[in-house]
Amino acid sequence: MLTQKDIDRLLHAFSAIFITKVDLQDQLQDQKEELDKKYNQVITRLDAVMKELKDKREEEVIMSHMLTRHTKKLESNETRLQKLERHSKTTSV
């Protein structure tokens, strides 16, 4: 029959070979903390990338508006110039 001393020796030997529930929970907690840290790093970087994207989109809208405004102004100036040229030709003849 096994004595308490035998049982203690077996438990000690098994603890060196087999992992316990507590050990698994500790490892799981460590991995969870590491994963949370990496996840936070990814999210932080993603936030920065999303801000850059938002800024670029806003800039694109502004540039598009400016281009439209300049195009209209150019067309208006072209029309005025054509009128002036026609007027200049008719008065010089």
Query: Does a structural domain hold residue 53?
Result: yes
Q: What is the band of 16 on the pLDDT scale with cuts at 50, 70, 90? A: confident
Section 23-32 average pLDDT:
95
pLDDT for the residue numbered 90? 84
14 belongs to a structural domain: no
* Assessment of whether the complete model's pTM goes beyond 0.85: no
Count of structural domains within the chain: 1
pLDDT of residue 1: 86
Structure confidence by residue, pLDDT tens digits, 31-61:
999 999 999 999 999 999 999 999 999 999 9
Q: Is residue 13, in this structure, part of any structural domain at all?
A: no
Task: Write a three-state SS string for the chain.
Answer: CCCHHHHHHHHHHHHHHCCCHHHHHHHHHHHHHHHHHHHHHHHHHHHHHHHHHHHHHHHHHHHHHHHHHHHHHHHHHHHHHHHHHHHHHHHHC
Can you give the residue range of the structural domain that contains 68? 20-92
